[in-house]
Structure 1
Amino acid sequence: MSTERLFDNTEIAFSLKSNSELNRAYLLFKMISYEPLVKVGKVLTNFAIKANLPVDSVIRATVFDHFCGGISEKDCIPVIDSMYEKGVSSVLDFSVEGKEVESFFDAAMDKTLEIINFSQNKEAMPIAVFKPTGFGKPILYEKKSEGVAFTPEEQEQWNRIEARYDKVCKLAKEKDVELLIDAEESWMQKSVDELVTKMMQHYNKEKPVVYNTLQMYRHDRMDFMKKELVHAKENGYFLGYKIVRGAYMEKENERATKKGYPTPICESKAATDENFNDAAQFILGHLEVISLFAGTHNEASCYLILDMMKEKGIAKTDNRVWFGQLYGMSDHISFNLANLGYNVAKYVPFGPVKDVLPYLIRRAEENTSVAGQTGRELMLLAKEKNRRKS
């Protein structure tokens, strides 16, 4: 199967894009491909927002509409419905970041509960998601991970974090909606892992409902997963893992150098790729206990998973195996896989334009730094533009 070029069909990949949307996407990725432009754009955008300049409409008409589904859940419905007609499900992601007050954490929890309720009646949305630092202060996750004692006030705040997790996981189980919990930086992740494992043990008794996220650019994640498998088997519950390559590499390496400890990051891109592929193979080899959400824009990893599924006789529609990509990226993977009948979901960020800006800036920076990603998008978009002209 891997010799076939499954992802080269741009007619399927961009079937939802009008000519003007195709041109906008091409221009956007062209701009993102110039790193100095991304840096200047970040500074100017932040300045414009702080100065209360009317930039919402400009951002909305360009980068926002390409990478986000809308400003609210209801605003996202046309995107959700049109993608589902092509077999691609949606994971609504409330992408407001960086607010560290209890009222925001409660609001983020309420928003996640709303999405789960919304998903229950929407076949196109079988999966929900939240980010740990959306539910509590980063410093609390860090202190808990490092075994530093909490003050009485911090302990109360941590108890509220646990209560938020529990409330959301409980509703996900009741409504039969799978729940992905995103990963954080390594210095916070230990406490996230412990909390998510606790939720899995409680809510994954019959099948996987709660999924943890493993960033496979960390060289310790395979050992972690193997230990978790032993624990799950001993205690009679299922595991769910979203595997990704990772999102905080520069930050991780800088902190390790500054504080004088060995970096948790794999020594090379090749080692990260190998680690990701090993994780996928390990999960597919233990599918009776672990379910897989493969969050990847890497064609080779997708081919590997497809080959393994075929080899092991795993049905394309088996709910224990999902492929996931970000909205606005790698449509050639998402829509071609869905066209063949595999389980595919797009992460669809949403939220007020100004509040989602940190997410959008990060997307632009990541596209600039990921080798080949932007070039690949541009090549495919150009190919489809030419096909439509001919």
Structure 2
Amino acid sequence: MISFDNTEYAFAYKSNKELKKAHFLFSSMGKPWLVNMGLSLMPKAIKWNIPFTKSIIKQTIFSQFVGGETLQETAPVAQKLGAYNVEVILDYGVEGGEEGESGFDHAADEFIKVIDYATTQQNIPFMSIKVTGLVRFGLLEQIDAAMSKAEGTLMKRYENAIAQLSDIERVEWQKVVARVVRICKAGSDKKVGVLVDAEETWIQDPVDALTILMMDQFNTTNAVVYNTIQLYRHDRLAFLKDSYEAAMSRSFVLGVKLVRGAYMEKERKRAAEKNYPSPIQPNKESSDNDYNAAVAFCIEHIEQIAVIVASHNEYSNLRATQLLDAKGLPHNHPHIHFSQLYGMSDNITFNLAKSGCSVSKYLPFGPIEDVIPYLMRRAQENSSVAGQTGRELGLIKKELARRKLA
């Protein structure tokens, strides 16, 4: 029986000094006024080049949640995790990216560099990409809007929307597809999984369609490409089942990363402003129920679905292991993987690893000024998610006390 309360396993990779630093950080993030002040000042301090700002950030919140500023700087982190049978999902944490065709081409090249680098390390089976780094946001919005007005399956709506583009826009989209094909082919050739991040609802449909096309091409024998499904949306459990039907009809392995979601407040605000029904679940219980149902559906069809259970929820992770046990399947079955963000929920990650699960840390990297949006989300998440900071702090205190007595 897996226990997520074993702090000796959870924090074995951290020294006393590192554990005390984590205690200080989570204590600070437990104070909303301090978090709000920091979030307001941090981007400005970086922009204005205020002395020591980068150094302070790098030694505190950056080192807690980010692997380094460069690919090479992630190596010691990956190796340290690997010593405890924890793998790594590399994420080039630049958001928004450079505008223009040359900027999008550069982003594609950077993603391929990550794939090439992953092959040099023993415990980096996956990397992630954001389609918004490879395409003009407005074009995604335009295609999504056209798809929302069409009827039929996702792929029929996609084909209809592409047919409505002007000749210039169609050429622009073909370049986007070519970039994603290049990345996925590199992943396929180098045996590195490519996880396509979820986006906001008003651009998600073309991302879903593009990801299905990539799976159709590259997931014929094993999962290379994975779509990210946000279960805090009330329509995503049905979408998962539709994706499975598409995989069956097209004879490819469905790759999915199951998350709860990342844009809740933004989604609700936009829905209210534009007067359309919110795409977000009515409450946390509904989100949890759909997430756990999605995990169960994937394990029920585990021969045809490769799933990454990307969750900080203890019950969801435990439930997945119980479902594997019920089917007599090993915790390291090639079609199931677990993952948590670097710097959070070590009690889940390292206890899963100890039980023999295939598990990883999602490890972003990039220049400090470029990963500020990611760091701001982590600070907000730990400040606002009920019980998250308290849980982290409680476990750290428990381990510090245990070490004193040891």
Question: TM-score by structure 2 length?
Answer: 0.93
1:168 matched residue in structure 2? 183
TM-fit CA distance, 1:387: 1.1
The aligned amino acid for 1:28 is L
What does residue range 321-340 of structure 1 map to in structure 2 within 5 Å?
Answer: 321-340=336-355
What does residue range 131-146 of structure 1 map to in structure 2 within 5 Å?
Answer: 131-146=130-145
My pick for the range that moved more, 263-272 or 118-127, is 118-127
2:70 matched residue in structure 1? 72
Does the CA contact (< 8 Å) of 1:100 and 1:136 recur in 2?
no
2:365 matched residue in structure 1? 350
Question: TM-score by structure 1 length?
Answer: 0.96
Kindly indicate whether residue 28 of structure 2 is the aligned counterpart of residue 31 of structure 1.
Answer: yes
State which of 6, 31, 46 in structure 2 corresponds to 1:9: 6
TM-fit CA distance, 1:34: 1.2
TM-fit CA distance, 1:152: 4.6
Kindly indicate whether residue 279 of structure 2 is the aligned counterpart of residue 264 of structure 1.
Answer: yes
Q: Distance in 2 between matches of 1:155 and 1:32?
A: 46
Q: Distance in 1 between matches of 2:346 and 2:267?
A: 29
2:116 matched residue in structure 1? 117
The aligned amino acid for 1:184 is E
Q: Distance in 2 between matches of 1:352 and 1:212?
A: 26
2:153 matched residue in structure 1? none
**What SS does structure 2 have at the residue aligned with 1:364?**
helix
The aligned amino acid for 1:129 is S
1:271-322 deviation digits (Å, cap 9, x = unpaired): 0000000000000001111111010000010111011000011112211000
Paired residues in the alignment total 387
The aligned amino acid for 1:65 is S
1:63 matched residue in structure 2? 61
Q: Distance in 2 between matches of 1:332 and 1:108?
A: 34
What residue ranges of structure 2 are gaps of 5+ in the alignment?
147-160
1:374 matched residue in structure 2? 389
TM-fit CA distance, 1:151: 4.9
What does residue range 65-104 of structure 1 map to in structure 2 within 5 Å?
Answer: 65-102=63-100, 103-104=102-103
1:241 matched residue in structure 2? 256
Q: Distance in 2 between matches of 1:85 and 1:350?
A: 20
1:41 matched residue in structure 2? 38
**What SS does structure 1 have at the residue aligned with 2:315?**
helix
Q: Distance in 2 between matches of 1:219 and 1:313?
A: 31
The aligned amino acid for 2:21 is R
**4+ long deviations beyond 4 Å:** 148-153
Aligned CA distance change for structure 1 residues 369 and 154 (closer, same or farther; 3 Å) = farther
TM-fit CA distance, 1:154: 3.7
Q: Distance in 2 between matches of 1:61 and 1:346?
A: 20
1:337-370 deviation digits (Å, cap 9, x = unpaired): 1011100011111001111111111111111121
State which of 193, 196, 201 in structure 2 corresponds to 1:178: 193
Q: Distance in 1 between matches of 2:371 and 2:240?
A: 32
2:335 matched residue in structure 1? 320
TM-fit CA distance, 1:159: 2.0
Q: Distance in 2 between matches of 1:105 and 1:34?
A: 39
TM-fit CA distance, 1:100: 4.4
1:134-157 deviation digits (Å, cap 9, x = unpaired): 222222211111117545544333
Does the CA contact (< 8 Å) of 2:97 and 2:107 recur in 1?
no
Q: Percent identity?
A: 43
1:364-384 deviation digits (Å, cap 9, x = unpaired): 111112111111001001111
The aligned amino acid for 2:60 is T
The aligned amino acid for 2:229 is L
Q: CA RMSD in A?
A: 1.3
The aligned amino acid for 1:11 is E
**What SS does structure 2 have at the residue aligned with 1:217?**
coil
Does the CA contact (< 8 Å) of 1:325 and 1:345 recur in 2?
yes
What residue ranges of structure 1 are gaps of 5+ in the alignment?
none
Q: Distance in 2 between matches of 1:26 and 1:78?
A: 22
Does the CA contact (< 8 Å) of 1:100 and 1:137 recur in 2?
no
Q: Distance in 2 between matches of 1:31 and 1:158?
A: 45
1:138-193 deviation digits (Å, cap 9, x = unpaired): 22211111117545544333222211110001111111111111100111110100
